[in-house]
Amino acid sequence: MSEHLNPWSLAEEAIEEYLTASRSCLDYKKQDSGCLGYPSVLLLLCIVNALGTYLRNEDVIIEGKKQQITRGKPFRVLNHPLFKQDLTDAQIGRIEEASRNRLAHNALIDPGVVLTPVTTGFAFKFTDNDDVWISVPVLHAVVADAWTHFDKSKIKYAIEAFRLSG
C-alpha cells in the first residue's frame, strides 16, 4: 500500500494486490487439504470486472457476433483476446450472477457452481444441466496473463473518460 497522486496508479496497485492475495489464497492449505478458493475467485472476478470497466466500448466476439463491452456488461471482457475465452452470452451472465455478485454481496455461491483445484484445462466448464465448474488455479493463470498483457494506459483513459474516480 502506498500513497497515490492519481486514481489510475491506485487501480494498478489494487489489481496487483488482488492477484497477490488470490495467489496466497491458492497456496494456503486448509486442514482438508483444500485452498481458500472462495476469496481467490472473488478477487479474480473483481479484476475481471475492473478490466471490463477499463475496456468499456471495446469489441468482443460473443456467439459469432461483434458486441461491445458496456457499463452494464463488463464481464463480456471474458471474451476479449486478453482472456482467451469463448463463452456464450448466457455463460458470461451465469459466471457474473452466480459467483461474483452473490459471492461478494452475500458470501454465497449459487447451487450448481463448483470451485475446483484442478490445475489444467479450462477456467470455466459448463455442464448440460447449466452447472459451472470454475478451476481456481486456471482462472488465476488466465487473469494474471490478461493483466500482464493489459495496456495499463487504458486505466487512465477510462477513469478520465468515464469519470470513474468520483
The contacts of residue 153 (CB under 8 Å, 6+ apart) are: none
Cβ burial of 51 (10 Å; 0-12, 13-18, 19+) is: buried
How many CB atoms lie under 10 A from the CB of residue 151?
10
Cβ(158)–Cβ(49) under 8 Å?
no
pLDDT for 165 equals 59
Instruction: State which residues of the chain have pLDDT below 50.
Output: none
Closest C-alpha to 57, from 66, 69, 67, 48: 69
pLDDT for 3 equals 79
Distance CA 28, CA 129 (A): 32
pLDDT for 49 equals 95
pLDDT for 1 equals 58
pLDDT for 101 equals 76
The contacts of residue 46 (CB under 8 Å, 6+ apart) are: 18, 100, 104
Interval 69-90: pLDDT, tens: 999 999 999 999 999 999 999 9
pLDDT for 33 equals 87
pTM: 0.93
Which residue, chain included where needed, has cell 475496456?
Answer: 55
Strands (E), the chain: 59-62, 65-68, 113-116, 124-126, 132-135
Distances from the Cα of 38 to the Cα of 43, 53, 77, 133, 137, angstroms:
9, 23, 21, 13, 12
